Amino acid sequence: MSVSGEHPLGSYILNGTLDHVSPATLQALKEALADILACTVAGAQTEAARITRKFACTEWKNGQSSLIAFPGKLRPAGAALVNATSANALDLDDGHRLTKGHPGAVVFPAVLAAAEEERVNGKGFLTALLIGYEVGIRAGIVAHQWRPEYHCTGSWGALGAAAGVANILGLTTSAAEQALGIAEYHSTYSPMMRCIHFPSMVKDAIAWGSMTGVSSVYLAKEGFTGVPSLFSTEPGLEQVHTLGEIHHIQHLYFKTYACCRWAQPAIEGVKEILGEKKMTHQEIDKVVVHTFTESSRLSTKSPQSTEEAQYNLPFPIAAFLVFGEVGPDQVLNKLDDVEILDVMDKIEVQIDNDLDRKFPQKACSRVEILTSKGDLYRSGVVQAKGDYDFPLTATEKREKFMCLMKPWMGERKSGKIFELICELEKVDDIRELTSPLTFSQRLYN
C-alpha cells in the first residue's frame, strides 16, 4: 500500500467534495439517503434489531451516536451495528446490480454514527456518504472480479464504510488507505449462499461490515496498520481512476417489496399479468416461474421466520397474489396465513438458460399463470421495478419513504424529515436530522 499522500484513492477519500458533482448525482445521493433512512426506521421493529440493540447497549455505552427508532446513544461502532441491522432487516434497502449486494445499509449507518460523534454539518455528512457509496460499490465490483466465490455485502461494504468515516475524521491519505486495508482484512468473507439456503439474522453480514468499517478507521487513526486493500490489485486500480468522474450511486436500485431482490422480477411478472387479466388468487390453478439460477435457489418451503420469508421465492409471490403487496406486515405478521400457504403450493420454479446468462447485469424472470378454467397467461421477460434502467418515479420514491415512516413518525413529521433531506447540505449540524428519529422506550422495548 502506498504511503504517499499522492495516491488517488487516499486523495479522493480525504478531499472528495460535493462542489463539482452534477445535480443528478446530488439528487441520487439524497434519494438514497431518504430510502435507507426509511428502511432503518421501519426495520427497527424487527426481532433482529431488538436483539442487536440489547447486545450493543452492553458493549458500547456513553457515546454521541443515535440509535434510529430506539432511545439512547452509543459509541460509533455500536450505533453502526444496530442501525445497520435495522437498515437491512426488512430487505427493502438499496442495492447495486454489479455488487450483488446492498451498499447503503453498510455505508449509511457508519457515516451517520461518525458524523454525529464529530458534530458534522449536513454538507459534510453528504460528502462522506457519497465517498462511502462510491468506494464501497467499487470494492464490491472488484471483489467479484478478483475472487470467484459469492461473498456477502459486509465483506466489501466495510471498505465503503471505512472510506466515509475516514473522510469525516480527516485522516491522512496514508491512514485512510490503511483503514481500508484493515477493514477488508477484518471484514467477514461469509458464505452468502449458505445464508440463502439457511436464512437467519446474519443475513448479508451488513451490520458486522458497518461496525468493522467504523472500527477500522479509529484503529488507523491511532497508527494501526493494515494490508494493501483490494484496490491495490489491477482491477482495483482501474476502479480508482474513475473516482470523482463516474458516480455509481446513479445506478442504484430501490426495492418495492420486502424480500430478496432475486424474487422481485417474478412478482413483477405476476403484476403484469394481473394488470391485463383480472383474477383472484382463488381462480389460479398453477404459477410457473422461469428464472435465473440464483433466484431458483431461494427457499420454496413455508417460512418459519421473517428471514425465511425474505429469502423465499413462492412466499412473496403468494403474498402479492393474496394481499397485493409484500411489505413489512407480510414478512412480519403473515407467515402462517392460510391463503398465502395455499397459493405457495401452486407455484413451480424452473431455470431459464437465457435469463441465467443475463445475470448479474440483469435479474429477470418470466411467469405463466394457469387458471382453474384452463386459461394460460404469460408475462414478458421482466426485471424488478426500481433498477436504474427501470426506475421508480420521484413520486414513487417519496411514497415508499412515507409508507415506511408514517406508522412510527406520523405523516406531518415524516414529511418534514423528507423535506429536510432535500435541503440537507444547508443544515449546520447533522443532529437536526437525527434528533427527531430517536424514539421513546414506549415504541420499542
pLDDT, position 6: 53
The per-residue pLDDT for 117 is 96
pLDDT surpasses 50 at 2: no
Is the pLDDT confidence value at 441 over 60? no
When pLDDT is averaged across residues 135-155 and rounded to a whole number, the result is: 90
Distance of CA 310 to the CA centre of its chain: 14
Judge whether residue 302 has pLDDT over 80. yes
Percent of the chain residues past pLDDT 70, beyond the cut: 97
Name the helix (H) or strand (E) containing 371.
strand 364-371
CATH of segment(s) 261-383: 3.30.1330.120
Q: What is the reported pLDDT for 440?
A: 57
Instruction: Read off the pLDDT of residues 197-207 as tens digits, 9 standing for 90 and up.
Output: 888 898 899 99
Q: Are 292 and 358 in contact (CB under 8 A)?
A: yes
Does the pLDDT of residue 193 top 90, yes or no?
A: no
Mean pLDDT, range 211-227, rounded to an integer: 98
Average confidence (pLDDT) over 416-425: 98
Assign domain 8-256+419-437 to its CATH superfamily: 2-methylcitrate dehydratase PrpD (1.10.4100.10)
Q: Does position 444 have pLDDT exceeding 90, yes or no?
A: no
d(CA 253, CA 394): 13
Name the DSSP class of 228: P
Give percent of the chain above pLDDT 90. Answer: 88
Positive or negative CA dihedral for 387, 260, 404, 71?
negative
- Report whether 439 contacts 408 (CB < 8 A): yes
What is d(CA 380, CA 82) in angstroms, rounded to the nearest whole number?
41
From-to residues of CATH 3.30.1330.120 in the chain: 261-383
Q: β-pairing, 73-74 with 347-351?
A: unpaired
Q: Is the pLDDT of residue 442 over 70?
A: no
Whole-structure pTM value? 0.93
What's the pLDDT score for residue 4?
A: 38
Cα separation, 203 vs 155, in Å, equals 12
Where in the sequence of the chain do the CATH 1.10.4100.10 domains occur?
8-256+419-437
Q: Binning pLDDT at 50, 70 and 90, where does residue 5 land?
A: very low
Burial group, residue 342, by CB count within 10 angstroms (0-12, 13-18, 19+): middle
Residues 428 and 115: beta-carbon distance below 8 Å: no
Confidence check: pLDDT of 256 > 80: yes
- For residues 164-190, average pLDDT: 94
Average pLDDT estimate for 396-413 = 96
pLDDT digits (tens, 9 = 90+) for 316-342: 999 999 999 999 999 999 999 999 999
pLDDT at 321: 98
